[in-house]
Chains A and B, each alone.
Chain A
Amino acid sequence: DVKVTQSSRYLVKRTGEKVFLECVQDMDHENMFWYRQDPGLGLRLIYFSYDVKMKEKGDIPEGYSVSREKKERFSLILESASTNQTSMYLCASSEGGGNSPLHFGNGTRLTVT
């Protein structure tokens, strides 16, 4: 079974802090994704990566950056956290070539105060 592990289940940070969310997958998947989930809005794509060191913006990349130095790890960075970034963050991975479902981590609930 694919395992996607997010480093923290809950995080509380202060406005202006730099925040790192880490995600690791163990199935050698090429594609990795970061979504945020907010009530009534579903999942919105922040960034995705289809290879090491490659990244593409999703629908809401503003205020975020990502890093993928190794195939199994995809990090989401909030350069200067703001209260409107309080949300549930979900990492996912999928096999290369498309046509395969996403495998999700358990999520990180981030609160910015």
Chain B
Amino acid sequence: ELKVEQNPLFLSMQEGKNYTIYCNYSTTSDRLYWYRQDPGKSLESLFVLLSNGAVKQEGRLMASLDTKARLSTLHITAAVHDLSATYFCAVEPETGGFKTIFGAGTRLFVKA
């Protein structure tokens, strides 16, 4: 059974600081996704990582995938208040059809 673990689950940081959110998963996969959810809103896709070593960047966020370690990271550079949201990673296993399993989410709060 695929398990997806994120840490930390809650992160409070000052504007201008850097930090990394980690996503570990328990079975082989080379398809990992990051989503953002604002309070009271639905989820929006941020990054799609489809191979070992994949790196994607958008603004102050950078995501990477290491399929050998079964680890993805979401790095935040020089955080700003607008990045405050909940971030989810999600994994599509190699077997099991298109079933996508989510981590518990990381609630990020950036203090101005």
Q: Which of A42, A98, A105 contacts B31 (CB 8 A)?
A: A98
Q: B88–A107 contact, CB under 8 A?
A: no
A101: chain B residues within 8 A (beta carbon) = 33, 35, 45, 48
Chain B interface size range = 20 to 34
Q: How far is the CA of A58 from the CA of B90 in the complex (A)?
A: 14
* Interchain CA distance A35-B44 in the complex, whole Å: 15
Q: How would residues 65 to 76 of chain A score, 1 for a CB under 8 Å from any chain B CB and 0 otherwise?
A: 000000000000
Interface size on A, residues (CB 8 A): 27
Query: A90 in the interface, Cβ–Cβ < 8 Å?
Result: yes
Q: Let me know if A43 and B88 touch, CB within 8 A.
A: yes
Known: A90-B43, A99-B50, A104-B42. A33 touches B100 (CB 8 A): yes
Interface residues of A (CB under 8 A from B): 31, 33, 35, 40-45, 48, 50, 56, 58-59, 90, 92, 94, 98-107
| Sample (26) of A-B pairs whose CB atoms are under 8 Å apart | A33-B100, A35-B102, A40-B9, A42-B88, A42-B102, A42-B104, A42-B105, A43-B102, A45-B101, A48-B99, A50-B97, A56-B97, A58-B99, A90-B43, A98-B92, A98-B98, A99-B48, A99-B92, A101-B35, A101-B45, A102-B43, A102-B45, A102-B90, A104-B42, A104-B43, A106-B42
